[in-house]
Structure 1
Amino acid sequence: MTDADVHDALVQTLPLFEMMRMRAATTARRHPRLGYASEDRRAPRRWVNLFTHTRRKLGPGDREVVSPNNDTLYSNAWLDLSAGPVLIHSPDFGSRYWTLGLLDAWTNPFAYVGRRSTGSRPQCTLMHGPDGPGRVPPGVSQVIAAPGHDVWIIGRILADDSAADLAEVHALQDALALRRADGSDAARRLDTGLDAQEPEPPPAPRFLPCVDAALARNPLPAGEALAWPLEPAAVARQLPAVYETLRRQDQPRQLGGGWALPVAVRSHWGDDHLTRARVARNLIGALGIEEAMYPTAEVDADGRPLHGSQAYELRFPPGGLPRVGAFWSLTMYRRSDCLFVDNPLRRYSIGDRTPGLRPGPGGELVLRLQAQDPGPGHHWLPAPAGEPFYVVLRLYQPQEEHLQFRYAYPPLHRLG
């Protein structure tokens, strides 16, 4: 097998490794009632079929998720469907935005439960794997088939920063539950086989067994063929180049003005293995575009990389704000690690729910992106001083103008 063949096989299977790494990083060591998954707390055993929740919005110190949002609280669960179906119970969310995105082990966002897709009433969703649904108990609202035994539920619930609103969201999170058809707790122990802080790129002796185990539980997507197994020495040679390629690869869909769309998937990546791997490395957990779109700017309108030594302006013309059914936000990240930029304002995003954000007298909304405070009268999103950065314009429930790529994204202009 040539080095090029090995490189292609690694690009194809890297999403499996990244998903299993995320599972190791985000599953619970301790069940609230049943205790630790292992008596040795350093062991890689974790609880699956169990929701875990973030109780606050993520900040610069949170490193488990790359390019996280600053709009919602997360509720996560990793399903192991090898022992049978799991019921997902969700409460009444009222008018609040919420979604449970269902990703298979290849990062295909194959289904949803939530405001846009199934409504906000109390509901019970039966999730099953390749072995089928079995007997469907009374009260099930919908049945969803997963292509493999491993599924990541990545939930997002809109939250304000007030204590009262956070308390409401916490109650909604606590009402999410995973059960068996007989009503028992679905939680079970699973050996993740990985450390939560795997290096990048991972060594071949970590990468290969992890992918082997994931392949046994999650068949290749329809239409794919894979050159496997691979020689460890060839993997050790090629993995650094693969990760460097994914770090530097250009965005696949250019939108103009410095904007590009890294994720244009709806429910399945198809044969676009390179973009699938790039998103797994840089934007893992991204949803399909009907639920959310993530236009990203890494360069300005003239194609120059965004850098904290410069100041930039983003002008939305009168009547030209994003067209969304839920809400939008613009989030700032350091390029070096894809994480939030610490700043005195503790402002990591700015959007239609930011207090005081309003168009000027002529109807334009102007945002300033820079490291130094531009002073009174400006809507400021702080950038890292002296470092490259990028921004993501998150669009929740984007409308047709975005989905059909007819929206004119305002250019990012460098000042001075």
Structure 2
Amino acid sequence: MIGKPTRLLLASLSILMSTGALADFTASPAEARAIAKEAYLYGYPVVAMYKTLYTQAVDKGGANFKAPFNRIANSAQVLTPKDSAVSSPNVDTPYSFVWMDLRKEPQVLTLPKIDDNRYYSVQLIDLYTQNFAYLGTRSTGNNGGHYMVAGPGWKGQQPVDIDRVLYSESNIAYALYRTQLFDEKDLGKVKQIQGGYKVQPLSSYVKQPAPAAAPRIEWPKPMATMTEGPQLFRYLNFMLAFAAPQDSEKDLLARFAKIGIAAGAPFKVNQLSAEQRKALEDGISDARAEFAAFKKDKLDTNQVTRADLYGSRDRLKNNYLYRYAGADQGLFGSSSDEIAHLKYVLDSDGKPANGARHSYTVHFAKDQLPPTDAFWSLTMYDAKTKQLVPNHKKRYVINSRMLADLKPDADGGLTLALQHHEPPKAEQSNWLPAPTGPFYAVLRIYLPKPEVGSGQWKLPPLTPLK
């Protein structure tokens, strides 16, 4: 059942929406600019997530609609360059999706037993884009089970046959499933596994009457520019109504309130003065400039890796620049103990990778292949489109399951060729086709061993052939 605090919040939200009241804007222009910078970094991932939520679970007529709330959708296919719904698509693990509305009761996720040699995971994500828990090979094993996901205000009793209860900071949460695909012939098996993924409300699971329905939500329609200017704060206010405030953020949210950011309050850009709007726009520009410098100096040089950008609140320690960077680089990225993402953007000379200028090699020394308890893959992307690279070989990835077909070096190492032009036939087994222009490649290590996170294992450089 809905508790009293939730009913009061929803009632307040209804009043605010009906009266059109605008939260107070009390900051001076200089203060507003500083707050807007902070709030933009904080809010961008939340609003970027809303875009996906709306397209996958709300917009039933949209091309990317998956399933309504609390129902599972599966996508089992071998991705090609024609699949452009997401940037940097993962060709290793077909996805399943569940958007969960936890306002009235928890949802129970049932997982089937699957083969011991196949990796799978269920990534549980709150509205802040934080990975609050995982299910699957690493965390719960491959024997299946029943797992309950509850919102922050749930106080009920755990059924005896529930293996684990997992709490979300927000009353809306996302479950993102990954199921390893071995090759095209394996697609039928993946579909069979996906058919065993189940989700149901707790009341249905324990065969009891359902609680009263939660109030209907009026979802604001996304705008093309919703993440680019002060309009972002309108969507942030809407989303914050579904997320309980955290003690560690009380002072932060109090500062945000000075520019009209408050859970459930309308944020009407057209009611801002010209001076107020300019202060917010300048603050947003400051935030973007800070990220651009961070990306150039830290991310592109791998001084900060994608592994640092994703995880729970405890892991991220409220580092909002990192959380912003994670949303920019790839929304819903995995935590580092689940999947390590290492990216080739620059070559060993510090220059952007470009298939029109060079051919490149990546050399793994003997016994220095990516250390993993599952598998690894190296995928090529066009830097302009952030999509897979069309090529007549229809090869978009090289992974550890292909090792028997790859040609080793004389000393037992392995050298991969990342280039646009086709190499001699005897060397084509190790060829990952690149575009005629800028590119990047992503090394994904599933269930990485400790030496990856510790830095003991080093990513080999992308070396241009002179």
TM-score band, normalised by shorter chain: 0.7 to 0.9
The structure in which a higher percent of residues are helix is 2
Q: In structure 2, what is the Cα distance between the partners aligned to 1:109 and 1:115?
A: 16
2:394 to 339, 346, 358: 346
Pairing of 1:61-72 with structure 2 (within 5 A): 61-72=82-93
1:324 to 369, 372, 375: 372
Q: In structure 2, what is the Cα distance between the partners aligned to 1:339 and 1:155?
A: 21
Distance 1:306 1:212, change over 3 A: same
Q: What secondary structure, in the 3-state scheme, does the structure 2 residue paired with 1:223 have? A: helix
Q: 1:306–1:389: 8 Å Cα contact kept in structure 2? A: yes
Distance 1:307 1:275, change over 3 A: same
Give the TM-score of the pair, scaled to structure 2.
0.78
1:261 aligns to 2:305 (yes or no)? yes
Q: In structure 2, what is the Cα distance between the partners aligned to 1:3 and 1:243?
A: 13
Q: In structure 2, what is the Cα distance between the partners aligned to 1:221 and 1:331?
A: 38
Unaligned runs of 5+ in 2: 1-30, 261-268, 270-276
Pairing of 1:39-54 with structure 2 (within 5 A): 47-54=68-75
What do residues 171-218 of structure 1 show as CA deviations (whole Å, max 9, x unaligned)?
Answer: 1112211111232699998654334x845744544x232211111111
Kindly state the Cα deviation for residue 260 of structure 1 after the two structures are TM-superposed: 5.5
What do residues 350-379 of structure 1 show as CA deviations (whole Å, max 9, x unaligned)?
Answer: 111237224233212111111221232141
User: What is residue 274 of structure 2 aligned with on the other side?
Assistant: none
Kindly state the Cα deviation for residue 244 of structure 1 after the two structures are TM-superposed: 6.6
Q: What secondary structure, in the 3-state scheme, does the structure 2 residue paired with 1:182 have? A: helix
Q: What secondary structure, in the 3-state scheme, does the structure 1 residue paired with 2:139 have? A: coil
User: What is residue 37 of structure 1 aligned with on the other side?
Assistant: none
User: What is residue 189 of structure 2 aligned with on the other side?
Assistant: 168
Distance 1:176 1:247, change over 3 A: farther
Q: What secondary structure, in the 3-state scheme, does the structure 1 residue paired with 2:177 have? A: strand
Q: In structure 1, what is the Cα distance between the partners aligned to 2:227 and 2:44?
A: 10
Kindly state the Cα deviation for residue 219 of structure 1 after the two structures are TM-superposed: 3.2
User: What is residue 21 of structure 2 aligned with on the other side?
Assistant: none
Q: 1:47–1:190: 8 Å Cα contact kept in structure 2? A: no
Distance 1:364 1:168, change over 3 A: same
Kindly state the Cα deviation for residue 166 of structure 1 after the two structures are TM-superposed: 0.9
Q: In structure 1, what is the Cα distance between the partners aligned to 2:297 and 2:146?
A: 37
Q: What secondary structure, in the 3-state scheme, does the structure 2 residue paired with 1:27 have? A: helix
Q: 1:73–1:158: 8 Å Cα contact kept in structure 2? A: yes
User: What is residue 348 of structure 2 aligned with on the other side?
Assistant: 301
Distance 1:10 1:255, change over 3 A: closer
Kindly state the Cα deviation for residue 145 of structure 1 after the two structures are TM-superposed: 1.0
User: What is residue 432 of structure 2 aligned with on the other side?
Assistant: 381
1:228 aligns to 2:228 (yes or no)? no
Kindly state the Cα deviation for residue 302 of structure 1 after the two structures are TM-superposed: 1.7
Q: In structure 2, what is the Cα distance between the partners aligned to 1:402 and 1:41?
A: 40
Kindly state the Cα deviation for residue 222 of structure 1 after the two structures are TM-superposed: 4.6
Q: In structure 1, what is the Cα distance between the partners aligned to 2:106 and 2:378?
A: 38
1:194 aligns to 2:194 (yes or no)? no
Q: Which amino acid aligns with 2:333?
A: A
Q: In terms of mean alpha carbon deviation, does 226-235 or 122-131 score higher?
A: 226-235
- Percentage identity across paired residues of the two chains: 27
Q: Which amino acid aligns with 1:394?
A: R
1:16 aligns to 2:46 (yes or no)? yes
Q: 1:252–1:260: 8 Å Cα contact kept in structure 2? A: no
User: What is residue 9 of structure 2 aligned with on the other side?
Assistant: none
Distance 1:203 1:167, change over 3 A: same
Kindly state the Cα deviation for residue 4 of structure 1 after the two structures are TM-superposed: 3.3
Distance 1:389 1:201, change over 3 A: farther
Q: 2:78–2:184: 8 Å Cα contact kept in structure 1? A: no
Q: In terms of mean alpha carbon deviation, does 360-369 or 186-195 score higher?
A: 186-195
What do residues 103-130 of structure 1 show as CA deviations (whole Å, max 9, x unaligned)?
Answer: 1111111100101101111211011011
Q: In terms of mean alpha carbon deviation, does 86-95 or 331-340 score higher?
A: 331-340
User: What is residue 285 of structure 1 aligned with on the other side?
Assistant: 332
1:144 aligns to 2:166 (yes or no)? yes
Q: 1:25–1:64: 8 Å Cα contact kept in structure 2? A: no
Q: Which amino acid aligns with 1:307?
A: N
Aligned residues: 401
Q: In terms of mean alpha carbon deviation, does 49-58 or 119-128 score higher?
A: 49-58
Distance 1:63 1:111, change over 3 A: same
Q: In structure 2, what is the Cα distance between the partners aligned to 1:241 and 1:75?
A: 37
Q: 1:66–1:282: 8 Å Cα contact kept in structure 2? A: no
Distance 1:236 1:254, change over 3 A: closer
Q: What secondary structure, in the 3-state scheme, does the structure 1 residue paired with 2:192 have? A: helix
What do residues 320-361 of structure 1 show as CA deviations (whole Å, max 9, x unaligned)?
Answer: 101100000111122234222222222222111237224233
What do residues 225-247 of structure 1 show as CA deviations (whole Å, max 9, x unaligned)?
Answer: 13325473244555466457646
1:391 aligns to 2:452 (yes or no)? no
1:413 aligns to 2:429 (yes or no)? no
Q: Which amino acid aligns with 1:175?
A: G
User: What is residue 122 of structure 1 aligned with on the other side?
Assistant: 144
Give the TM-score of the pair, scaled to structure 1.
0.87
User: What is residue 33 of structure 1 aligned with on the other side?
Assistant: none
Q: 1:21–1:198: 8 Å Cα contact kept in structure 2? A: no
Q: 1:259–1:298: 8 Å Cα contact kept in structure 2? A: no
The structure in which a higher percent of residues are strand is 1
User: What is residue 25 of structure 1 aligned with on the other side?
Assistant: 55
Distance 1:300 1:169, change over 3 A: same
Cα RMSD for the two superposed structures: 2.9
Q: In structure 2, what is the Cα distance between the partners aligned to 1:200 and 1:63?
A: 21
Q: In structure 1, what is the Cα distance between the partners aligned to 2:88 and 2:122?
A: 18
Q: What secondary structure, in the 3-state scheme, does the structure 2 residue paired with 1:218 have? A: coil
User: What is residue 217 of structure 1 aligned with on the other side?
Assistant: 242
Q: 1:374–1:380: 8 Å Cα contact kept in structure 2? A: yes
Q: In structure 2, what is the Cα distance between the partners aligned to 1:279 and 1:41?
A: 26
Q: 1:29–1:45: 8 Å Cα contact kept in structure 2? A: no
Kindly state the Cα deviation for residue 311 of structure 1 after the two structures are TM-superposed: 1.1
Distance 1:278 1:14, change over 3 A: same
Q: In structure 1, what is the Cα distance between the partners aligned to 2:176 and 2:389?
A: 23
Unaligned runs of 5+ in 1: 31-39
Pairing of 1:352-367 with structure 2 (within 5 A): 352-354=400-402, 356-367=405-416
Distance 1:348 1:323, change over 3 A: same
Q: In structure 1, what is the Cα distance between the partners aligned to 2:221 and 2:79?
A: 24
Q: In structure 2, what is the Cα distance between the partners aligned to 1:251 and 1:114?
A: 35
